[in-house]
Amino acid sequence: MSRQASRGTESKKMSSELFTLTYGALVTQLCKDYENDEDVNKQLDKMGYNIGVRLIEDFLARSNVGRCHDFRETADVIAKVAFKMYLGITPSITNWSPAGDEFSLILENNPLVDFVELPDNHSSLIYSNLLCGVLRGALEMVQMAVEARFVQDTLKGDGVTEIRMRFIRRIEDNLPAGEE
């Protein structure tokens, strides 16, 4: 059996502590580098975006999910397939807006924040903001412009962590310049 064939089917196990600690080290370093929480939040979002634009390809390669027909289907795929595949959790989907263009992802537990407590001098830090960037970047590659933001965070004393997803618009395929 070729090495290439077997690599696709085995799941690569990694210690989740290592992942949580790595993410924590990343955020800590950003806090040292940027000094104010707003800038750190922006950097996390940007980094998340760069991860998301590539992660979506891996997701499509591995999950065999086709194009979603509407935002509701997208929400289902994000919560039940994507979050499960990458973070091992299945957030619940709630609070649909009447127009069907906004929903919330409720995370009972967030693997990124195991062992984490926010110190008092970082009260406006959105610790897991990387996730919002990942969602935004990934969906942009499948032609959806969305906004993702944290509205509740267990790190700030809320009971659950809640990410609000808002559909902005569909990004149309553009023919490259010079085509008829």
The site for other proteins (CB under 8 A) is made up of: 4, 7-8, 53-54, 56-58, 60-62, 66-68, 141-143, 173-176, 178-180
**Which of 157/178 has CB closer to other proteins?**
178
**Which of 35/179 has CB closer to other proteins?**
179
How crowded is residue 116: how many other Cβ atoms within 10 Å of its Cβ?
Answer: 15
**Which of 101/140 has CB closer to other proteins?**
140
Min dist. Cβ of residue 8 to other proteins (A)? 6
From residue 166, how far is each of 18, 27, 80, 96, 135 by CA, in Å? Answer: 32, 25, 18, 10, 11
Min dist. Cβ of residue 114 to other proteins (A)? 26
Residues, the chain, total? 180
Q: Distance between CA atoms of 86 and 34, rounded to whole angstroms?
A: 28
